[in-house]
Amino acid sequence: MVDKRIYLCLAHMSGAEQKYIKEAFDTNWVVPLGPNVNGFESDLESFVGEGKKVVALSSGTAAVHLALIACGVGAGDEVIVQDFTFCASSHPVTYLGATPVFVDSEKDSWNIDPDLLEEAIKDRIAKTGRKPKAIVPVALYGMPYRIDRIMEIADRYDIPVIEDAAEGFGSRYDGRVLGTFGRYGVLSFNGNKMITTSGGGALICPDEEAKNRIMWYATQAREAYPYYQHEAIGYNYRLSNICAGIGRGQMTVASDHIAHHKHVFELYRELFADISGIEVHGNPSERSDANFWLNTITIDPAIRIKGQENAYKTTIKGAVGGAAGVVHATEDAHTDCEPNANVEALRMALDAAGVEARPLWKPMHRQPVYKNNPAYVNGIAESLFKVGMCLPSGPNVTDEDVRYIVDCVTADIL
């Protein structure tokens, strides 16, 4: 047993953050604008390149929301969203009174299937007489999507692409940073991301004009008068100067964080290589360069785990999601779509050993809140959800931790 919990992914803080935070307090810039916000945006623009502009925001979800607005999404519209993702990719569509249309994954990258994407576009046009207003691919666990095919299809139908690269900070496709291919790109700096501002996000914009428009929406859409004049609905979505100071410090170690996550992936792959029935998900081709924000494995359904007979026997009693989690009690441990019993048994065993592990994202089309939404499925996302697991991968995870985790997994296999 290790003498600490090994968490899934917590961004490592360096001393540089203290400098910028102190500066913000010393200069009394404790507001959602200021030198740190400007500096952080400049740092991000240099990092993503391609002449893109960046607006720092309060969350990645806010970035998705504003990108949809900028693309003209409104009530009654449809937006194609990757099925295999976290709800922040789809919930902002519903905020606007629009309908998420879910598209399943391809086998290699686990991300949106380009062939199924085009099939969905054609079918929505046939059924509704209108094309979807936007396409939202997601860099699941940092793995690049087939953005070449996605952009080819999107351009053919003249549909804007909003890249949800919230999990893909620093991931690349053909050497180019994710979030810079589509019309807009979404980044997240939540506390568990590749770099953090404790909470926060950013929107990658095509040019200065688009950046100014997004910034206007993010600051309550205030008009240029000496008093508060509003001619459109805006939002309070700007990042604070304090949080941006943390981000500026994090940018000094961003490359180190990405390199560490890749190193952890290589170590997992090496240590699991001889364990039958456990596969580590890696880059599907040389064109993909994942940041490996979270390292994931799939577990053969035939594998038996110690204590498997006790899986799903009790409901969750504590907070879900770590220290920031909340309790929403349920009377039944089962749903109609859940990970296999051996996956849940292994999760429970790792938790008892001081290791935080989680199932993969549950596909959106199997979420009760979206049960009536259009969905174009091939079974891949659901099949992966049933057999997959996320393992600790953050900057605080040491080589010793990885070996301990793999040893725990091995010891729990019957």
pLDDT 10s digits, 80-122: 999 999 999 999 999 999 999 999 999 999 999 999 999 999 9
Q: How many domains does the chain have?
A: 2
Are 88 and 221 found together in one domain?
yes
Q: So what's the pLDDT on residue 321?
A: 58
Q: So what's the pLDDT on residue 342?
A: 98
Provide the Cα torsion 145, 146, 147, 148; round to 10°: 170
Distances (CA, A) of 301 to 9, 10, 79, 133: 26, 30, 34, 39
Read off the pLDDT of each residue in 286-300 and give the average, rounded to a whole number: 98
**Confidence bin at 1 (pLDDT 50/70/90):** very low
Read off the pLDDT of each residue in 186-204 and give the average, rounded to a whole number: 94
Nearest to 357 by CA among 3, 6, 109, 2: 6
Read off the pLDDT of each residue in 339-368 and give the average, rounded to a whole number: 97
**Confidence bin at 316 (pLDDT 50/70/90):** confident
In the listed set 253, 269, 291, which residue is the last one of a domain according to the structure?
Answer: 253
Kindly tell me if the per-residue pLDDT of 224 is higher than 80. yes
In the listed set 253, 283, 301, which residue is the last one of a domain according to the structure?
Answer: 253
Are 168 and 195 found together in one domain?
yes
Does residue 1 lie within any of the structural domains?
no
Instruction: List the CATH number of the domain containing 143.
Output: 3.40.640.10
**Confidence bin at 397 (pLDDT 50/70/90):** very high
Any idea which of 27-41, 135-149, 194-208 has the lowest mean pLDDT? 27-41
Query: What b/e readout covers 59-94, taking b as 16+ CB neighbours within 10 angstroms?
Result: bbbbbbbbbbbbbebeeebbbbbbbbbbbbbbbbbe
Does residue 5 lie within any of the structural domains?
no
Kindly tell me if the per-residue pLDDT of 156 is higher than 90. yes
Long-range CB contact pairs, 308-313, < 8 A, 24+: 308/341, 308/342, 308/345, 310/345, 310/348, 311/341, 311/342, 311/344, 311/345, 311/348, 312/338, 312/341, 312/344
Read off the pLDDT of each residue in 404-413 and give the average, rounded to a whole number: 98
Kindly tell me if the per-residue pLDDT of 374 is higher than 60. yes
Read off the pLDDT of each residue in 273-293 and give the average, rounded to a whole number: 97
Q: Angle, nearest 10°, between helix axes 114-128 and 147-157?
A: 20
Are 293 and 400 found together in one domain?
yes
For 218, the 3-state DSSP assignment is: helix
Nearest to 125 by CA among 92, 90, 157: 157
d(CA 194, CA 213): 27
Q: How far apart are the first and last CA of the chain?
A: 20
Does residue 10 lie within any of the structural domains?
no
Does residue 268 lie within any of the structural domains?
yes
d(CA 328, CA 408): 30
Instruction: List the CATH number of the domain containing 383.
Output: 3.90.1150.10
Provide the Cα torsion 375, 379, 385, 387; round to 10°: 180
Q: State what percent of residues in the chain have pLDDT above 70.
A: 94
Note down the domain range covering 227.
16-253
Are 216 and 76 found together in one domain?
yes
**Confidence bin at 222 (pLDDT 50/70/90):** very high
In the listed set 223, 253, 283, which residue is the last one of a domain according to the structure?
Answer: 253
32 or 387: which leads in pLDDT: 387
**Confidence bin at 24 (pLDDT 50/70/90):** low
For 222, the 3-state DSSP assignment is: strand
Which H or E run contains 119? helix 114-128
Are 231 and 299 found together in one domain?
no
